[in-house]
Amino acid sequence: MTTSTTSEPSAAAPLLDLQALVVAVRRRRRLWGSLALLGLLAGAALALLLPPPPSAVTKVLVAHQEDQPNDTGTLIRTDVEVLQTTRIAGAALKSLESSEEPEDFMRDYRGTGVTNNLLRIDVTGDSDADAVARAGALADAFVADHVRRMREAAEAEAKALLEQRDRMRDELAEVNEAIGDRSPESDPQASADMESLFARRAELTSRIADFNQRAEEARVGTPQLIARTQIVDAPHAVRHSLPRTAATHAVIGLVLGLALGLALAAVGAVVADRPVLRREIAANLGASVIAELPRRSPGRWRRRRTRTAHERLTAMLARTVRGTGEPVSLLELGCARSTSVIALDLARALAAQGPVVIVDGLPGPHLAGLRRQPGDPAVVSGEDAPAVSPQERRLGVGSVAPGTAWTDLQYLGTRTVLVVRAGHGSAAWLHTVARQLADQHIPVIGVVLIDPDPRDRTDGTLWAGPHTALRGHREWMPRQKGGGASHAVEAVGADQRHTERLPVRAARVPDSDQEAR
């Protein structure tokens, strides 16, 4: 008979998991913290090694003939651009009797429009006195140029008005002459022409007076504008505080370094695609997270909790190993030393009921470097594993890191517990591990997560489907049950349904503030 297991449809995975991204960035705090510190030190060093040059500042009140209350700053921006011209720079250098080129001098000063009529000029020099002299020369040159331009504009306007007035006077003279040449007649048409000439003379007289008044106003208004355009803040040196400058540069460097570090960490997390959450690791490996342990040595106030978590994990694994008649292995990914400690503690717990041999299949001397106690189980290499006596319980320790000889894993154990460091392997490699273990018919009992995120609130339990790798599960069950194929398939369906109802719980991270569960 055949049975099928149905699982609830899972929601589509988001294109970008913000929770996983935040956790990944937080785990890379060494990167962005180092860059932030580097930016802080670089900013402070820059202020100390490259102090600001001597500078001076002055302010000029600029009056415009076209000033309007609703002006958006166009006129003052024009003045700023006029200040940054070779004509102003050349006039200032000429008053300073300097042989410097105007183009070079223009790099040493800048203008800023403070308001619609207030211009600030910042100048640098070889010394404070030189900077003050340059600022004064620039301000005088700009005021003189502005006054000259206003006078030229007023003169041009007055000249145009007077020329128009002269043309009107010539036309008025012609009209007067035409009126004088007419003789008094009683003809109605002649009377109408005289009236038209008198009206034209009156109009021309009025327009001539108007042009005279406008020309006079143009001349009179210019002195007022000239008087209002003046230096309101005399040139003076700017005092620089070295501590304040260093603090400012340090803060700027800190912010830039932190921003760069966070950006690099975020981009690296997205590109690397290394799962850090319990739910991601469980989903990619096809096995539930059954325990969590910190990778780094905790502080004194947490050592007791960490030791308790190690003892709880050892007891749980010991019960699991005793419940099966097959050899069990611990396979590490990114945490060889932690796996060696777990294996040695587990072997000591199992040695109370019989002889235990640890088969060391790790690529490095991690087990050999641990501190051994008298009476500890024997440790043999992977080449000597076939020579282990059947009466001795075998506990294998190996690795599933890239470069693993997958066919040798069966000699370490026919069932395994994966010890994985969070954020070490990519999602593609976790899939590869699950697939290779399934091909080797090595069921995964569970996953021990090393160095988890303390703020991870996700569930590392597979609620739907078997808690082992999906491939190879059905092939392993007939060998364990010892029955026929149909009974094996039935057992698989029952086991899957039981897994959905009774998921494996994960122990909380011991170095967080939460209780173990």
- What contacts 99, CB < 8 A, 6 or more positions away? 93
Question: 209 vs 174, 179, 196, CA distance in Å?
Answer: 18, 21, 20
pLDDT tens, the chain, 517 aa long: 334 444 443 445 566 778 888 888 888 888 999 999 999 999 999 988 888 889 999 999 998 877 777 778 889 999 999 999 999 999 999 999 999 999 999 999 999 999 989 999 999 999 999 999 999 999 999 999 998 888 887 777 777 878 888 888 888 888 787 777 766 665 677 777 777 878 888 888 888 888 787 777 666 657 777 888 899 999 999 988 888 889 999 999 999 999 999 999 989 888 888 888 888 888 889 888 888 887 665 556 567 777 888 888 888 888 888 877 788 899 999 888 888 888 888 888 888 888 888 888 888 776 655 666 666 787 877 666 676 777 778 888 999 998 888 888 888 888 999 999 988 888 899 999 999 999 989 999 889 999 888 888 887 787 654 444 433 344 444 444 433 333 333 333 434 433 333 344 444 444 444 333 3
Query: Tokens in use for 153?
Result: 């504009």
DSSP 320-370: HHHT-SS-EEEEEES-HHHHHHHHHHHHHHHGGGS-EEEEE--SSSTTTTS
Alpha carbon 416 to chain centroid, angstroms: 41
What's the rounded Cα separation, in Å, for the pair 31 and 264? 8
Question: 447 vs 292, 418, 436, 444, CA distance in Å?
Answer: 9, 5, 16, 8
What's the rounded Cα separation, in Å, for the pair 6 and 500? 10
Question: 97 vs 131, 134, 137, 206, CA distance in Å?
Answer: 15, 11, 11, 54
Q: How would you label 440-469 residue by residue, b for 16+ Cβ within 10 Å and e otherwise? A: bbbbbbbbbbbbbbeebebbbbbeeebbbb
